[in-house]
Each structure stands twice: as structure tokens, then as C-alpha cells.
A = this chain, B = another copy of it.
Amino acid sequence: MIAILRLGHRVGRDDRISTHCGLVSRALGASSIIYSGDRDDKMVTGINSVSERWGGKFEVGYNANWKKVLMDFKRRKYTIVHLTAYGMPLQEKITAIRKNKNVLVVVGSEKVPGEIYQLADYNISVTSQPHSEIAALALFLYSYNDKALEQKFTKSKIKIIPQEKGKKVEEG
């Protein structure tokens, strides 16, 4: 199982970035995302409504206490992977990380509590350049799971049928 913990969400400023983190997690096979930082029911509702239309079983939660969440996952023997530009290169560590069946991926925002670097089993960088937590998360999920792009979403109300040109959507 893959779970995501998104730290330090800020209502307003981070709405779209945090929403993208949630949708990417769902699309690439994570089973849940937990947000910390500001409580943002509207954003959670938005992601849940995507899941309801597009299918699958993806859980979205909120917890003000990120440390409690992290320690709970540790207790459940999840491997904690913290994505940070300061960490060790993904390509050097991914083989070791893949040996773990249950992973909690921690995705920071502007400021991350220093403690996390110690609590994480792996601090992992997806390049050591400034770019995007959304991209880092996507590339981690894709590297961790060969089938990340081929998820099945049960009970969908809407479905895209891939086309060379144009759009085809099945509804109902």
C-alpha cells in the first residue's frame, strides 16, 4: 500500500498545488492522502468528487498533527520516504525502497520541520534542483511501481477512451 502525507497546506495559496498532489496520488496508485497544515474541507470535497465520478477507492483525510500520522504509519511498519531536494538521488535508492511493500510518502511545502529528516527512513531527491513537489511525487510513484500508469478504477461514472486525435468519453 502507498499512502501520502502532504505537509503544511495553506488555504488559498496552495489550493491547486495540494489538489494536484491528491489527484496525482490517486491516478498513480496510492490508496490515500492525508493533508496537514490548514484544514481545507473544500479541497478535500473536490478530490472526493473526482474519485466518485472517476471511480476507484481513494481516501482523503485531514490531520492537524502530522507527527502523530507519521508515527502511526511507522508503528504499522510503513517505510517513511520524505521527498526533498536535499535528499539522496531517487535513482540510487529506489531499488532498496522497492523492497518495502508499504510506503508512506511525505511531501513537504515551503517550510518543512527539521525533525522529518530524522524521522524518515529515506530522504529522497528527484534531482537536486528546485522544481515541483507534484513532479517529485509523480516520478517517485512511477519509479516505485512499474504499473503506476495502468491502474484500474472500479465503479466509475465517466471514462476516457484513448484516441489518436480528439476526445472520446463514456458516461453512465
Residues of A within 8 A of B (CB): 13, 16-17, 20, 23-24, 26-28, 50, 54, 85-91, 114, 117-118, 123, 125-132, 134-135, 137-139, 142, 149-151, 153, 159-169
Contacts and interface: CB of A to CB of B under 8 A. Distances in A.
Contacts of A138: 132, 134-135, 138-139
A23 B136 CA distance: 12
Copies held by the complex: 2
A149 B127 contact: yes
A123 B86 contact: no
Nearest to A168: B86
B86 A166 contact: yes
A129 B153 contact: yes
- Dominant secondary structure at the A interface: mixed
Given A20-B135, A128-B159, A139-B142, 17 more contacts: A16-B16, A16-B17, A23-B129, A23-B132, A24-B132, A24-B135, A27-B129, A50-B130, A85-B160, A88-B163, A89-B149, A89-B162, A114-B166, A127-B151, A128-B161, A129-B151, A134-B138
A130 B54 contact: yes
A29 to B, nearest CB: 10
A162 B132 contact: no
A86 B167 contact: yes
Contact of A160 (B28, B86, B151): B86
